[in-house]
Amino acid sequence: DIQMTQSPSSLSASVGDRVTITCRASQDIRNDLGWFQQKPGKAPKRLIYGASSLQSGVPSRFSGSGSGTEFTLTISSLQAEDFATYYCLQFYSYPLTFGGGTKVDIK
């Protein structure tokens, strides 16, 4: 099974900050990775697919990069509505595996 190691597990940031979240895969997954945002009591929402493609309707301050085993989600200027938990997901092979999540809260 492919392990997805996500870091940090939590972070505190202020509105306007640049935020970077990393996922590391235990083996090469090409660019078969997505990023999801989840707010309390809500279903996850896809932000990024194919490691770097922005989901339609998602603000351009969100971006994804990486391939192979190292992936990054960047929020260029954190907004109030971005405080949430973020997950990566590899879909290179079954079983699909999520990262452990990164909770972004207000400093």
Partner 1 sequence: QVQLVESGGGVVQPGRSLRLSCVASGFTFSSYTMHWVRQAPGRGLEWVAVISYDGSSKSYADSVKGRFPISRDNSKNTLFLQMNNLRAEDTALYYCGRSNSWNYFDYWGQGTLVTVSS
Report the interface residues with partner 1, using CB under 8 A.
32, 34, 36, 38, 43-46, 49-50, 55, 87, 89, 91, 94-101
80/16 Cα distance (integer angstroms): 9
Smallest distance from partner 1 to CB 65, Å: 17
Nearer to partner 1, 78 or 89 (CB): 89
The residues, ordered by sequence, that sit 6+ positions from 31 with a Cβ below 8 Å of its Cβ are 50, 51, 52, 66, 67
- Label the pairing between strands 19-25 and 33-38: unpaired
Nearer to partner 1, 7 or 55 (CB): 55
Nearer to partner 1, 31 or 69 (CB): 31
Smallest distance from partner 1 to CB 97, Å: 7
Smallest distance from partner 1 to CB 62, Å: 15
Nearer to partner 1, 3 or 77 (CB): 3
Other C-beta atoms closer than 10 Å to the C-beta of 91 total 14
Q: What are the angstrom distances between the C-alpha of 52 and each of 23, 29, 42, 98?
A: 13, 14, 24, 17
Smallest distance from partner 1 to CB 14, Å: 25
